[in-house]
Structure 1
Amino acid sequence: MGAFKYDEPPLLAPGRHFMTLSALERICVLPFAAPEMRRRLFQQLCIFVKCFDAAGIRCEMLINGSFLTSKPDPKDVDVAIILDPDVTELLTVEQELLVDAVNDDMNIFIDGVDGFVETVFPIGHSSFRADGNEMLWSEQYGRQHDGAWLKGVAVLRLGETDVGLRIRR
């Protein structure tokens, strides 16, 4: 059995909070007295987001982990990239290479960003929970290490209009 991992107090109330990168910076970087590490991580996150935006991948990015807590010097930013099935089915070769690079456990795609990409299939879809998992990694976001629902998750939406409608090809 592993040692208990202490979680710092969260910066967001429980739930999903849809925001922009600048709003995330106002919450996770600017309020800290010595934000050098947080500023560097935020810059790396911006590069990460721009890669997906430039590739034209429509997705939600869930930002989680110690970056969204009051811990003064988090080691990384945890990011779950959520794709809808129709997006996954229409990925170009270049987009698939980007997804594979992020999901490659042997390599770090962008230093300081611990990311993974998964497709969330609706109930009734032939691939829904096809691998037998009861809970996807992204569904574990927003929970403290002891399993309680205690933290908020920042959500960045890529490929949507300002009224929240996803742009489809």
Structure 2
Amino acid sequence: MGIPDFTSEGLLPMSIHNATLADIKEKLCSFGDADKRNKLYNIFIKYLKCLKKHKVKFELYLDGSFVTSKPEPGDIDVLLFYDFEYNNLEWQELIDDRIVRYKFPGLQVLTAFLECESKDYTLDFAHNVKNKPGLRKGLIKVIL
């Protein structure tokens, strides 16, 4: 487990990289604007604690500028795949990107059901690099 070094483009190598919370903090919060990176990480941890309260099966992947060599990332993109049978008002707020951005500034969330084709399509799409056709990047799967 662990997070590999960035490519010459400043991206993770194309793959899904399994990483613990300790791996993420060590690798992604210790360079560039470390204060900003740690602040974003702590907001993510707060969000994760809220998710865990629900005892629902889910998987989390991290994407966006936080998982690049960019010194000052704008936010953390969170891909959340969850059990479609679970639903209540508090959970709905945790999967609504507009509410997440308000309650957890610095996070952006994209959700899909865990056991369906949209998970594969979403992950495949997330490997693309914005405005750079043909360039693919790695993602981090958070191991809890």
| TM-score between both structures, scaled by the size of structure 1 | 0.67
Q: Tell me, which stretches of 5 or more residues in structure 1 are unaligned?
A: 1-7, 129-134, 159-169
Q: Tell me the SS of whatever aligns to 1:88.
A: coil
Q: Tell me the SS of whatever aligns to 2:53.
A: helix
Partner of residue 153, structure 1: 139
Q: Which amino acid aligns with 2:134?
A: A
| Larger-gyration structure (1/2) | 1
Partner of residue 29, structure 2: 29
The one of 104, 124, 127 equivalent to 1:139 is: 124
Alignment of 1:98-117 (within 5 A): 98-99=94-95, 102-104=96-98, 108-117=102-111
Q: Which amino acid aligns with 1:24?
A: I
Count residues in correspondence: 135
Higher helix content, 1 or 2: 2
Partner of residue 51, structure 2: 52
Q: Tell me the SS of whatever aligns to 2:87.
A: coil
Alignment of 1:58-97 (within 5 A): 58-83=57-82, 87-97=83-93
Partner of residue 112, structure 2: 118
Q: Tell me, which stretches of 5 or more residues in structure 2 are unaligned?
A: 1-8
- Kindly indicate whether the alpha-carbon contact (under 8 Å) linking 1:14 and 1:149 is maintained by their aligned counterparts in 2: no
RMSD of aligned residue pairs (Cα, Å): 2.7
| TM-score between both structures, scaled by the size of structure 2 | 0.78
Q: Which amino acid aligns with 1:63?
A: L
Deviations 1:74-127 (A, max 9, x none): 1100001012xxx2113345434433xx3337962311001122115536xxxx
Distance 1:62 1:23 in 2: 14
- Kindly indicate whether the alpha-carbon contact (under 8 Å) linking 2:93 and 2:99 is maintained by their aligned counterparts in 1: no
- Kindly indicate whether the alpha-carbon contact (under 8 Å) linking 1:67 and 1:74 is maintained by their aligned counterparts in 2: yes
Partner of residue 18, structure 2: 18
